């Protein structure tokens, strides 16, 4: 199995919530009441997200240069 790393970033919102995102994962956004609660949920759903989306995402990234003509 190939290995890869992801960078998760937290954004504090005006309402006090925190949104966890990753530039590497399209449409991945987890919102929580605090950094810890958002990160806890992100770590719980990340395996399911990766299982469902990474093969297609990897194919899109590899094909990106070929698609732009």
Question: Domain spans of the chain?
Answer: 9-67
Q: What gap in Å lies between CA 8 and CA 62, rounded to an integer? A: 22
Query: What is the rounded radius of gyration, in angstroms, for the C-alpha atoms of the chain?
Result: 14
| Overall pTM > 0.85 | no
H/E element, 40 = helix 35-67
Q: What is the pLDDT of residues 20-57, one digit of tens each?
A: 999 988 889 999 999 999 999 999 999 888 888 776 55
CA atoms within 13 A of residue 11's CA, in its CB half-sphere: 10
Q: What is the pLDDT of residue 11?
A: 96
Please determine, for residue 1, whether its predicted confidence score (pLDDT) is greater than 90.
no
**Residue 27 region by backbone torsions, left for phi larger than 0, else alpha for psi between -120 and 50, else beta:** left
């Amino acid at each position: 199995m190939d290995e890869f790393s992801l960078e998760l970033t937290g954004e504090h919102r005006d309402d006090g919530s925190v949104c966890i995102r990753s530039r590497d994962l399209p449409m991945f956004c987890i919102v929580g009441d605090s950094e810890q609660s958002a990160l806890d949920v992100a770590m719980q759903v990340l395996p399911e997200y990766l299982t469902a989306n990474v093969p297609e995402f990897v194919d899109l990234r590899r094909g990106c240069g070929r698609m732009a003509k």
